[in-house]
Structure 1
C-alpha cells in the first residue's frame, strides 16, 4: 500500500475516481498502547469495528492479543494471529457456529443471556468442562449516544438463576454488560458496575471475571467527551467496591475508542447545489453513522485548484446512489468556495466505516492509501507519546 504524509500530498499526485480509504495504523497503535497501559485489566478488541489487516496488525503490534468476536467470519480472520484468544461474545449464536468455534478454532469463552443459549453452548461443545462462560446482563444505556439496550441481556430477575446454573458448568464464570456506544459520561461505567456488584451479592454466586464491554468514546465535532483517564478513574473506583475485587479479573472490549482515529475517507465533490455537496461516498458506504445516527464527522476541503478559502459555511452532503435517504445532514463545516472537482477528507470513520459499506447501486469500491499524519481529532495526541513510542508507531505504519 502506498504511503503519503497527508491527504493533500496524495491528491497532489493523484486524482482518484473512486473514494479512498486513508488508513492511519499508527493512530490505532497509540490508542491500543494507551488502553493497555491504563485499563486495570485485560483489553479485548471488538473486531466488528474495523477489520482492515493493517489495523489489526497495528493493534497486535501494540500488544492486543484478545478479541471480542461475533461470528465465524471474525473467528476465521483472527484465529491466525499469534497467541490470539477469542471471546465469542455474541449472546445469540447458531449451533453450527458454536460447534466450529469450539472444535475447529479452540474458542473456550462464550457469552449467553438465557437458558436456551446456555443449553446450545453445552450441547454443541459436548458438555465440555473447559468453558469460560459470560452472562450478558442488561444495564441502562442512558449515557450513550447510541443505546444498545433491548436486544440482549438477562434481566435482574433472571440473572441470579442463570449465574447459579452456569457456575455448575463453567471452568470460569463471568458477567458482561454494555453501557451503549459512545458513552459520553464516565459515570455510565460506575453505575453499571455497582449494579453488577449488587447482582453478585444477591445471587450469592462467585464470579471469576467482569467484562465491562465497550462504549468508550472518541472525539467528534458533535461530541467532545471527557478525557479517557476520567473513565479509567471511574472504573477503578467502582471495581474496587466489588465484593469479589481480589479474585475477579476485569476485562473491557473497546472498538470505537481504538480505531475511530485510524481511518478517514477521501471523497470527491461531483456537484454543488447551494449548501449541498454531492460526493462519491455516503450512507450506503462509510458514512452510515452520519446518515442514520446523526454523527458529524470532521471534514477538510482539499481544493482542486489554487484558491484561498475565505469564509466557512455549513453543508449537507449527499452520497452517490439514487436513494433519497443517501443524505448526511451534518452540518459539515467547510470553506464556502467548495465546488465540483474538489476533494474532502472526512475523518474519524475508522470505527464502523469500512465494515458498514455496501455495494448498493454498484458503488462501494474504494482505493486505499496509508497516511502518516495526525488524525483530525484525537483522544490520545495530547497524552504526549514518548519519542520511542512515536518511532514505534511510525514503523508500524510503514511496515
Structure 2
C-alpha cells in the first residue's frame, strides 16, 4: 500500500514538472519571462557593454598607431609656453603634437567613410585631410599674419603635388619595377585643369601689383581677389556636384572598379569603430588641433628668430610636411599596393581642394572680418606655383607612372625648398608681431 502511494505521488510530481516546463517554454516563446530577473541582467549587461565599448574604442584609438607616442608633446608645448619664453621649443613641440592628431583625424575620417559610401567618403577624406592647414590658416588670419596664411597654403599645394606625388610614384615604381603603373587620366586631367585655373586667379593680382597697372592703387587687386575667390568657390562647388552625380566614381581605383563590376572583390575592409565613435573622435581631434594651432601660430615668428630660419621656409616647407606626414605615408603605401588612383586622390585631390577652396575661403573670411587677405601671393611664390603645376600636368598627361617620374618630382621639390630657404619677403610686406618688432628694432 505504501509503495503504491509513493508511486502515485512521484507520478503527480513528474506531471507537474512537465506542465511547468511546458509553461516556461510557452512563456519564453511569447516573451513573457519573469520581468524582474531579466531587467537586472539586462541592466548589468548594458553597463558592462558600455564600459567595454569605451575601453575598446580608447584602446583602438590610442594604441593602434606608433605615432601616438608624440601625443604628450601637445600638453608639453602648452606648459613650455606658459612657464617659459622659449618660442622655439613651443613651436617644435606644437608641431610634434599635431603629427599624431592629424594622422588620427585622417583615420577617423576613413572609419566614417565606411558608412557613407566611396564617393562621399573620398570627399570627407579630402576635406578632413586638409583640416589641419585650414585651422592653422584661420588662426594666422585672425592674428593678422596674412603672409603666413598665403605661404602655408601655397606650401601645402607644393608639398602634395611634388613631394607626396613624387614619393608615391617613386615608391610604387620601385616595388613594381617590372611594369608601368596606370591611373585614370580623366580624373588627373580634371584636377590639373582646376589647379591651372587657381594659378590664373593668383597670377593676375600679382601681375597687377608688379606692373602698377591698377585703376585704383591698393584697391583694385583686393577687389579682383575677392571677385575671383567667389568664382573659384562656385567652380569648386560645381566640381563637387559633378563628382557626386557622375555615374563613374572618381575616387574608386581602376582595378577596384573592375572587381566591383565583375563582382569578384575578395576581401573587403571593415570599420574598426562605429559611426558615432568616428564622429566623436573627429570632433575631439579637430578641437585639440585648433588649440595647438593657436600656440603654433603665436610662436612661428619667435621660432624663426631663435632657429635663424626664414619664416617663408617654415611656412612653405616645414608646416606642410609635418602637418601632412601621415597623409604622405598613406599615399606612398597605396602606390606600393598598386592603387595609384587613391594616391592621386590624396596628393592631387588635396592640392585641388586647397587651391580651389582653402585659398578663396580664407579670402572671403578675411573680407568678412575686415582683413585685407588677397590673392596676390607675390611674384616669387606665384611663379613657383605656376611652374610646379605645369611640371605636374605634363607628368600626368599620359596616365602612366614610374620611379623616374617620381625622382624628377622629388628633385623639383628639393629645388623649391632650397629656393625658399634663401628667400625672405621685402620689408614693405614683412609681418612682425609688436613685441618681436620692438626686439628687432632694438
Q: TM-score, normalised on structure 2?
A: 0.25
Larger C-alpha radius of gyration, 1 or 2?
A: 2
Q: TM-score, normalised on structure 1?
A: 0.27
Structure with more of its chain in helix, by fraction: 2
Higher RCO (CA 8 Å, separation ≥ 6 residues):
2
